Amino acid sequence: MGNLQSIENKVKEIIKSRLKNQEKINNINSETPLLSLGIDSILALSILVEIEEAFDIEINDEDLNMDRIRTIHSFAELIGSYV
Amino acid sequence: MITNDLCLIYPPLSVHEFPHMALPLLKGFVKKNGYNKIVIKDFNVEIMGDIIDSRLDRIEAYFAQNGIKITIAEIRKNIDLAKNVLLDTNKQGKDEWAFMIINTYLKIAGSDISEVCFSPACFDDIKQNFYRKTKGEYEDTITKAIERDLVQYLTNNPAGVVGITIPFGSQIYYALIMGRLIKRNFPNIKVIMGGAQVSMFWRILTEHKPFHEAFDALVYGNGELAILGYLDHVTQSKDIRDVPNLIYINIYGKVCKNDGKNIGHIRELPIPDFSDLPLEKYAYPKLPYMMTRGCYWGKCAFCSYRETKGYMARDVDNIISDIEEMKSKYKRRLFHFIDDAIHPNLINKVAERLINQNMNIKYETYLRFDRLFDEKMCIHLSKSGLRSALFGLESANSRILKLMNKGIHLDDVRFVLKNMKSANVKPVLSCLIGFPTETREEAMESVNFLLDNKQQYDQAFLVHYGLISDMYLDKEYYGLKSIDFDNPIRYDDSGYLALGYKYQTSRGMTVEEAFDVIDYGRKALGIKQFKDSFFS
């Protein structure tokens, strides 16, 4: 799970599996704002466990703000700093 | 089977975030004074825990509305993980995640609580339902749980005296139902009730005769000496007229109110005894503690016990040894200091010791906007484990602050907020809207202050002013036109259930106008309000 692209793909896969709206699933890309998918801070925190388990990491509180996880790309960058 | 001298009961329905402090403190005090057979039973934690657990589908639905799939099993897993984080010293980097998960889930699952409990709009509703229950015309899941568990519990754990505390308005009805059930099934048990609601509304409880079926005596103010004296009266036939803070009906049917008396010093109160409580069932693995009694300011006009409670503080050595003992005995690292307001110098000294002794705890508390909270002190407090502090801002209008006798200035508010925020402490602000004579423009100053300073605090509450203090003694000064003392009402049905005296004002906003500002302010500030939820 080393490079950013593979991390990004995995994050995308997890988030897609969580979305109910097919149109959103089809249009999702690395720069799609998570908020536009309906993922606000509490929703992000609720699916965090799955992300952490997938990468075997624990993300600290100070990194958990919506600026650091604004898009799938920025979320992947954050995860990359832990793996 | 051992008969307990005293069984202390915490009735439904209220939040179950962490144990309520009153009964563990009473148990410690009464035990220290010679009565060893005392047991505490928290019926609320079981009932509220079951209610929340049965409503996790609301969280699932909330996510679904936002287009996200999450299962109830995952929600449950998140809650368990969050609780474990808050228990584990090595997981402190995840505390905020855990707090956010538990807090939000409680608010969502606990919304529309009146669907499962009796939710009185006024005290007369309580009187009516108390009567309807007798006739078998009213039933809910909570009364069913009470009937299922209470008689069985007291059969298995007999007691000479049962003490029921009523700190919140949502517990009044169920406490009365419990009292009546006890007295009907166990005529030899004496039932005594106390707590904030009894202190405020004892007149109504004594004047409405059907309620007499639910208690033998009531306690106003602090309960320690009253409970001790009442036990002496029951077990040693001591004169009931000598029991301080006691209200009872004598053999002639007359309501008697004994004089009040406080303990000499807070150091007479031993460490609270939580050993009877199922600590794992509370929403947060957190314990309450109180290092002071009363408020060092004690002058706010809206406060129900201003200038009557007295202010006492424990010694720092005593505070530190209590925290150490609670931490090790109950394996908890989170504390809620439930003091009315801790003086900056005291909390600073406590912080010093927490740091020097490497206590490694986190705590939340209530503070005043005091200029002593400078940058250095705030950093110090943060380092000692202060996570968040609730401040009563109440108003951002200088006339209203003065009328409230709040004793704070907006410059101090900005100064303290800046220092707290930069020290990584989360300030939480509470603001009262609709204080008598307040105009819409003055109330909007508060809303605008909160909007302008949004980066400086973590959370804000806008709550409606409730008349529960002695402001009625100076009606003209506060612009109070008429007050109904007989039937306290619930003005705000969006949060926890609080009853206050119904009033009209001769100037300023009406209650309806105040709620317009509250609704506007909550929306403007992005305060996510879950309807009818006790959790905030």
Query: Residue A16's domain is classified under what CATH number?
Result: 1.10.1200.10
Using a CB–CB cut-off of 8 Å, the residues of B that contact A are 63-64, 66-70, 74-75, 77-78, 81, 91, 93-97, 100-101, 104
The ipTM assigned to this model is 0.90
Top pLDDT among B93 and B528 is at B93
pLDDT surpasses 80 at B306? no
Residue B220 β-bridge partners? none
Task: Write down the domain spans for chain B.
Answer: 4-44+118-257, 56-109, 285-524
- The confidence score (pLDDT) of residue B496 equals 84
Which residue in the block uniquely carries the two structure tokens 């920025």?
A: A74
Which pLDDT value is given to residue B161? Answer: 98
| Token pair listed for B262 | 């406080």
Inter-chain CB proximity B100 and A45 less than 8 Å: yes
pLDDT at B307 over 70: no
What is the arithmetic mean of pLDDT over B398-424? 97
Shortest CB distance from B68 goes to which of A18, A49, A61?
A18
Number of folded domains that form chain A: 1
Give yes or no for residue B217 having a pLDDT over 90. Answer: yes
Number of CB pairs, chain A paired with chain B, less than 8 A apart: 58
Mean pLDDT, all residues of chain A: 89
Tokens of B225: 């000496």
Q: Is the pLDDT confidence value at B381 over 70? A: yes
Closest residue in A to B76 (Cα) is A46
For domain B285-524, give the CATH superfamily: tm_1862 like domain (3.80.30.20)
Q: Residue A65, SS3? A: coil
pLDDT of residue A1: 47
Region B392-418: what's the mean pLDDT?
A: 97
CB nearest A64 (choices: B63, B67, B97):
B97
For residue A46, give the nearest of B67, B78, B95 by CB distance: B78
With beta carbons under 8 A apart, name residues in chain A contacting B100: 41-42, 45
Confidence of residue A2 (pLDDT cuts 50, 70, 90): low
Q: Which of A20, A41, A61 sits opposite B69 (nearest CB)?
A: A20
Given an 8 Å threshold on Cβ–Cβ distance, is B95 in contact with A61?
Answer: yes
- pLDDT band, very low/low/confident/very high, at B134 (cuts 50, 70, 90): confident
Check residue A82 and give its pLDDT: 92
Of the pLDDT bands very low, low, confident and very high (cuts 50, 70, 90), residue B240 is very high
Which residues have CB under 8 Å from B320's CB, separation 6+?
A: B350, B353, B354, B357, B359
Interface test with B, best of A17, A46, A58 (most B CBs within 10 A): A46
Quick one: B149 exposed, middle or buried, by C-beta within 10 A (0-12, 13-18, 19+)?
Answer: middle
Closest residue in chain B to residue A22, using alpha carbons only: B67
Q: Which residues have CB under 8 Å from B496's CB, separation 6+?
A: B14, B15, B168, B169, B170, B534, B536
| Two structure tokens written together for B60 | 């699932």
What pTM value is reported for the model?
A: 0.94
State what percent of residues in chain B have pLDDT above 90: 89
Position A39 confidence tier, pLDDT thresholds 50, 70, 90: confident
Task: Quote the pLDDT of residue B412.
Answer: 96
Interface with chain A: mutation pick from B56, B59, B62, B68, highest number of A CBs within 10 Å = B68
Average pLDDT over residues B515-531: 91
In angstroms, the Cα distances linking A31 to A12, A73, B8, B470 are 11, 6, 58, 59
Instruction: Look at residue B314 and tell me whether its pLDDT is greater than 70.
Output: yes
| pLDDT computed for residue B407 by the predictor | 96
CATH topology of domain B4-44+118-257: Rossmann fold (3.40.50)
Which residue range(s) make up the domain with A62? 4-80
Instruction: Provide mean pLDDT across the span B96-117.
Output: 94
B111 neighbors B496 (Cβ within 8 angstroms):
no
Q: Find the mean pLDDT for residues B236-248.
A: 97
Q: Burial level of B484, CB count in 10 A (0-12/13-18/19+)?
A: middle
Peptide bond into B13 cis (omega under 30): yes
Kindly indicate the confidence band of residue B113, based on its pLDDT and cuts at 50, 70 and 90.
Answer: very high
Q: For residue A58, list chain B residues with Cβ-Cβ distance below 8 A.
A: 91, 93-94
Query: How many C-beta atoms surround the C-beta of residue B252 within 10 A?
Result: 6
Please answer yes or no on whether B63 and A43 come within 8 Å at the CB atom: yes
Q: Which of B171-185, B299-313, B330-344 has the lowest mean pLDDT?
A: B299-313
Q: Which of B81, B97, B387, B455 to mutate to test the interface with A (most CBs of A within 10 A)?
A: B97
Q: What is the DSSP string of B135-157?
A: TT----HHHHHHHHHHHHHHHHS
Residues B65-75, mean pLDDT to the nearest whole number: 92
- Burial of B356: CB neighbours in 10 Å, binned 0-12, 13-18, 19+: exposed
The answer to whether the CB atoms of A42 and B81 lie below 8 A apart is: no
Phi, psi dihedrals of residue B459, rounded to the nearest 5°: -155, 150
| Helix, strand and coil percent figures for chain A, each rounded to 5 | 65, 5, 35
Min Cα–Cα distance to chain A from B436, Å: 37
- Minimal CA separation from B45 to chain A, in Å: 25
Instruction: Report how far residue A21's alpha carbon sits from residue B151's, in angstroms, rounded to the nearest whole number.
Output: 52
pLDDT > 90? residue A68 = no
A-chain residues within 8 Å CB-CB of B66? 38-40, 43
Q: Per residue in B251-272, pLDDT tens?
A: 999 999 999 998 888 888 999 9
Q: Residues B324-347: pLDDT tens digits?
A: 999 999 999 999 999 999 999 999
Average pLDDT over chain B, rounded to whole?
A: 95
pLDDT one-digit tens code per residue, B457-509: 999 999 999 999 999 999 999 999 889 999 999 998 888 889 999 999 999 99
